[in-house]
Amino acid sequence: MSHIPAGSQADTDRYDDESDDNTYAVSVTRQDGNWLVRELPDASFDSLDKTLRALRSQSTDQPIFGLFNIDDDYFVIVRPVPGGVNTLVSDASAFLSDDLVSDCLDESGIDLDSLEDEIGDSDDVEPWAEGEWELLADLGYSEESLSILIDSDDLWASEQLACLAADMGFDEELADVTGVDPAGCDH
């Protein structure tokens, strides 16, 4: 997988080009009653361990979570919790080519070898979501809301995350960091 390093000129240009995929990784937390969205380093795409280090390195006493939009095909939400981590992957079949997704599924206790055997060499694998559906419930975003969002097949991953941000109230902050317009979030 290749991702453009966060903060590079090419990274900034990516958000200005409508033909591009809008791949990004951000952290989201509250500070003084306001949402704070920050870009995460490129290395956070590499593994769940690197993601957790990037999230935990941000000084906050508030809940924090990471949003990852990968190639505008699927997204990952990662939330450190005391004693572990909660994750949600919008397309678990991506574990075949994405280390972060593999790590998230493995952390959830899914036997990846058995899953890979089950899928085999099929190119016709239907995407499915996997993970902790209530990972944002205490922040006001329910399991039902996540389910409806993920079932919105007419939206790209960046649009799904923009809708999540709009519903939770940090759409402007997310757009400022990623350049992804939250328009069209009537799902």
Q: Which residue has the higher pLDDT, 182 or 111?
A: 111
Percentage, residues of the chain above pLDDT 70: 83
Whether 68 has a pLDDT exceeding 70, the answer reads yes
164-171 CB contacts, 8 Å cutoff, 24+ apart: 164/67, 165/28, 165/37, 165/67, 167/141, 168/35, 168/136, 168/139, 168/140, 168/141, 169/35, 170/28, 170/35, 170/37
Q: How far apart are CA 40 and CA 178, in angstroms?
A: 11
Which tens digits make up the pLDDT trace of 99-119? 999 999 988 888 888 878 777
Query: Residue 62 corresponds to which amino acid?
Result: Q
pLDDT at 45: 86
Q: Write down the pTM of the prediction.
A: 0.84
Helices (H), 44-132: 48-56, 99-107, 112-119
- Across the chain, mean pLDDT equals 83
Which tens digits make up the pLDDT trace of 128-140? 899 999 999 999 9
Whether 1 has a pLDDT exceeding 90, the answer reads no
